[in-house]
Amino acid sequence: MCKFKSAIVLKSKIVCPLDKDSHSEILNDLGIKDDNSFPNFVRIEMIPIDGDVFNHDLSNWKLNVDQDFRPEWFDHETTERQFKEFNLPEIFEKCFTINDQSWREYKNTKIYVKNSKVRIFHCSVVAWENSSVVAWENSSVVAWGNSSVVAKENSSVVARENSSVVAWGNSSVVARENSSVVAWGNSSVVAWENSSVEAWGNSSVVARENSSVVAWGNSSVVAKGNSSVVARENSSVVAWENSSVEAWGNSSVVAKGNSSVVIPYSASVKIKDVSGNATVKDLSGIKPKIIIANDFEIVKFGSGKS
């Protein structure tokens, strides 16, 4: 698997594009056949010893060779020295933004952001520690540590560790570890590990592991694990496992597994299917009712009178 920062060593030079960390992509751009048996090139990676890509002390970086065969002209120590002298300083200058609140703009590259604010266009970003990113035009973002992201126009985001995301225009988000997402306009979200999602427009959400979702407009939700959903307007929900749903407006629900659905008010909610041990409590009418799967016996408890 390719790691930061990947490069290809040829007999006469080191090829290290700033926007790529894939050896295969670099070789393809060079027009070189990816020959794993006896290649006339060397796949290398310059990686931080302590695992922190934001530690730019050159002594913290070491060269790793990502293949078994080495051509006779390749020298490990010379290549590492050259990479540290020429390549790493340029990478640190052009691919990293640290402690910068000026909303720097980047286009068509890959950057690493820490405690900074950036705007990106068609970029790939890894954001750490309270960073803010506004992403446009097919950009991709991995956000860690309380970072916030606004994703627009087909951008994709992976949010971790309390990060927050606002997604627009066909963007996709994977939210983990208490992250929060607001999704608009055909965006898609997969929520894990206590993450929370507010979905609008035609957004789609898959909620897992204690995640919570509020769905509006024509949003659709698949709820699994112990996730909870509030469905409003014309949203639709498929509830599985131990998930819980509160349905309002013209929303529609399919209840499966051990899921539970409550309809507190709207008589317009559509229950399309109930199966397994799922239950639906309809409190919207004059007389409340409980809906369960057809093959289960209904036991009604009265006032205690025999």
Give the residue from 162, 166, 188, 187 showing the smallest Cα distance to 176.
162
Same domain for 172 and 64: no
Q: Is residue 256 part of a domain?
A: yes
Please determine, for residue 193, whether its predicted confidence score (pLDDT) is greater than 70.
Answer: yes
Q: Is residue 297 part of a domain?
A: no
Q: Is residue 26 part of a domain?
A: yes
Same domain for 143 and 43: no
Q: Is residue 41 part of a domain?
A: yes
Q: Which domain does 23 fall in, by range?
A: 6-96
Query: How many structural domains compose the chain?
Result: 2
Q: Which of 96, 119, 137 is the last residue of a domain?
A: 96
Q: For 121-144, what is each residue's pLDDT tens digit?
A: 989 899 998 899 998 878 889 888
Same domain for 78 and 203: no
Q: Is residue 229 part of a domain?
A: yes
Please determine, for residue 298, whether its predicted confidence score (pLDDT) is greater than 70.
Answer: no
- Give pLDDT, residue 112: 93
Same domain for 202 and 118: yes
Same domain for 169 and 125: yes
- Mean pLDDT across 80-99: 95
Same domain for 215 and 81: no
Same domain for 194 and 127: yes
- Give pLDDT, residue 214: 87
Same domain for 223 and 153: yes
Q: Which of 73, 96, 119 is the last residue of a domain?
A: 96
**Against a cut of 0.75, is the pTM above it?**
no
Same domain for 68 and 33: yes
Q: Is residue 300 part of a domain?
A: no
Same domain for 274 and 226: yes
Q: Is residue 301 part of a domain?
A: no
- Give pLDDT, residue 306: 43
End-to-end CA, the chain: 70
- Give pLDDT, residue 288: 85
Please determine, for residue 297, whether its predicted confidence score (pLDDT) is greater than 50.
Answer: yes
Same domain for 120 and 90: no
Q: Is residue 222 part of a domain?
A: yes
Q: For 210-264, what is each residue's pLDDT tens digit?
A: 888 888 888 888 888 888 888 888 888 888 888 898 888 888 888 888 889 898 8
Q: Which of 37, 64, 96 is the last residue of a domain?
A: 96
- Give pLDDT, residue 296: 54
| 16 pLDDT tier (thresholds 50, 70, 90) | very high
- Give pLDDT, residue 43: 94
Please determine, for residue 185, whether its predicted confidence score (pLDDT) is greater than 90.
Answer: no
Same domain for 125 and 58: no
| 1 pLDDT tier (thresholds 50, 70, 90) | very low
